[in-house]
Each structure stands twice: as C-alpha cells, then as structure tokens.
Amino acid sequence: MPSDWRSELEDCRLCAWQCGVNRLAGECGVCQLGLPRVASRTLHPAPPQSYTIFMAGCNFKCLHCQNWTIAHYPAQRTHVDGEVKPDDLAAESVAALESAAGRLMGADRLFFSGGSPTCSLPYVEAVVAAARRINPDVKVNYDTNGFMTAAALERILSWTTSITFDLRAIDDEVHRALTGAPAAPVLRNAEVVAAHKEHLWEFRILVVPEINEDQIEPLCRFLAALDRDLSVCFLAFRPNWVLERHPGATRRSMERAVRIAHRCGLDRAYWSGHAGISGEVASDLHSDYRSLSARRAGAYAAAAGCVTHPRDCGACSSALTCRLKEYRPRRTT
C-alpha cells in the first residue's frame, strides 16, 4: 500500500473497470465516488458476527440492490457518516469489538461491506493497518461482488481473514442485465478465492425468480469443479430497488437451489433469508438480449432509465449522469 492511501485515487484502477480517473481532482468513474466515505458502521449479529463498516459507492448497478441508498451515493442524496480518518475508525472499531456488547454478541472481526468496498480499497487497507497496530490479532472480513482487478485481489488476500463473495450469474448476458457489468472478472476472481479457501467464509448466490434461477445449476457446477468443499449460501431475493415489484423467492425455490447444489457435489450448501414476499413479474422484455432471463432483467433496467443495452456501465455514454443510479423505489421490503 502506498504511504499515502489517497495517491491511488489520482489514477483509479482498483476495480475491473479501470477507469483511470483522478478522483482527487473531482473526476468520476463508473462508481461516481470521489474520496471514500463511510456510510454507516455498527455491531452486527449476522454471521460472521462483527463490527460492520458499510462503505458508500459501488462499481455495479444491480437491479436488486438492497443497499441502494449506500451503493449509489452520491447520486442518491442520502445521509452518510462521511470522511472518517482511518486511525479514528480503527480505534473505534477495536473498542467496539472489545466492548461488553461486542463480546456478548461474539463479534470477532471488522466486516467491510457496501456498496462495494473495492471502490475504497486503499482507505480500507489504512483502517486495517491502524487496527492491527492497536491489536495485531484483529480479524477482517471483506464482502465483495468480485469485480476487483487481479492485483487488488492479491492485496486483499494478503491481509483479510475471511471473504464473503457474491455471485449472480455465470452467463455474461444475464450478469450484464442484472448488474451492468461483465461476468468474466468475477468468475476469474472466484477461481482465485476458491484456490485460497482458507480465506473464504462462503460464496453467496442470490436467487431471483424468473431472472437468474436458470443460473443456479451452472454456477454450482462451476464451483464444484473448483472445490466441492466450498461453502455456498443461497440468499432469498426480496423485492428491492428497481425490482421493487418483482416477486420474492419462494421457500420452494430456495430448497430447490440447495438440492441442485447437493446434486452437483456441494454438500456445504444452505439457504437464508425471508422467502415468499409477494410481487408480480413484469411482462415487458428487452429485444437487445437473447435469453428470456436477460430480456426480462434488461426491460426492468430500461424502464428505470438505463440507456445502454446490452448493459455495459463501463462503455455507457451516460455513465456520469446515470438515471438508473437516481432511481427511487416506492416500495421497500
């Protein structure tokens, strides 16, 4: 890590978009983030129990985003905690873990999430380094969409204790329709993390009815070919952000996903979340996609303001004025 963590932001190439913008001078890439901003932080009971630090900004524009007010800051004019000095956040985080509430919860690590913490990687590294000057045994979890460069992932693996890694689709068209980004960098990085499974907490696969259910089996086969002992958690989609009216995953579909994983040889698969939230599948389809799943997701994106199809946020002429990032749902679940 450079002595001044801000220096990398002068030519930002932290994620697979490799925008090359000078964020210190006010230039914006796909994430539209300038200096890293802490959105919120709190002791959190979800496994792994932790002091969770949500970083603002994201290099994806996932239609199903449950943290959309954080991920799409500053386009979403929402409150964030703001610029917190790494040393101050480190001291606060270690104190929280060592507090009576932290010990009672069993919180044993810092957990960086978002949005995507990769947009703020040098800052995250500065916080981790400062925390370990206070307590060398502090554990760290890195929650990721997998869209960092190979060099950034190598850095993360050098200091992280555990990684929670989200997968959405193996088919590039479906992945683009859902996230606005290509699948290849994510799959490449998933292979690397699987090869270093001592750092892996689990892979997480969101199950979105009528959009990525056909991706479950190929994703499971992909992971099983890497290592059949990988932990996989299927997350039940609940209506959110652009997919605010789309139906949530059913208990039956979640149980089916686990059976598919077991059939593929992934015995450490389970599901989590709140299933069965009602909704209605939109009938519109987008003609610029081949598969039914991608055509449906693409139509949702277009209705919310996405202008480039197939979706490609890195090549979009409207990336800096993205209407999708400004979308405000009327329904939250």
Each residue's pLDDT tens digit, 5-62: 999 999 999 999 999 999 999 999 999 999 999 999 999 999 999 999 999 999 999 9
Pairing outcome for strands 38-44 and 269-272: unpaired
Phi, psi of 317 (to 5 degrees): -70, -15
Where do the structural domains in the chain lie, given as residue ranges?
5-325
Q: Residue 77's pLDDT is what?
A: 84
pLDDT tens digits, 114-138: 999 999 999 999 999 999 999 999 9
Q: Residue 331's pLDDT is what?
A: 87
Q: Residue 1's pLDDT is what?
A: 45
Cα–Cα distance for residue pair 306/327, rounded to 1 Å: 10
Contacts of residue 62, defined as CB under 8 A and 6 or more positions apart, other chains included, come to 71, 145, 168, 178, 179, 180, 241
Cα–Cα distance for residue pair 117/38, rounded to 1 Å: 10
8 A C-beta contact, residue 234 and residue 266? no
Q: Residue 3's pLDDT is what?
A: 56
- Model confidence, pTM: 0.96
8 A C-beta contact, residue 199 and residue 160? yes
Q: Left if phi > 0, otherwise alpha if psi is -120 to 50, otherwise beta: which for 175?
A: alpha
Contacts of residue 203, defined as CB under 8 A and 6 or more positions apart, other chains included, come to 165, 166, 167, 190, 223, 230, 231, 232, 233
What parts of the chain have a pLDDT lower than 70? 1-3
Q: Which of 70, 308, 22 lies closest to 181 in space, CA to CA?
A: 308
Q: Specify the CATH architecture of the domain 5-325.
A: Alpha-Beta Barrel (3.20)
Q: For residue 148, what are the β-bridge partners?
A: 15
Q: Which of 207, 203, 293 lies closest to 253 in space, CA to CA?
A: 207
Contacts of residue 35, defined as CB under 8 A and 6 or more positions apart, other chains included, come to 6, 9, 23, 24, 83
DSSP 273: S
8 A C-beta contact, residue 19 and residue 30? yes
8 A C-beta contact, residue 319 and residue 234? no
Sign of CA dihedral 309, 312, 315, 320: positive
Cα–Cα distance for residue pair 169/186, rounded to 1 Å: 10
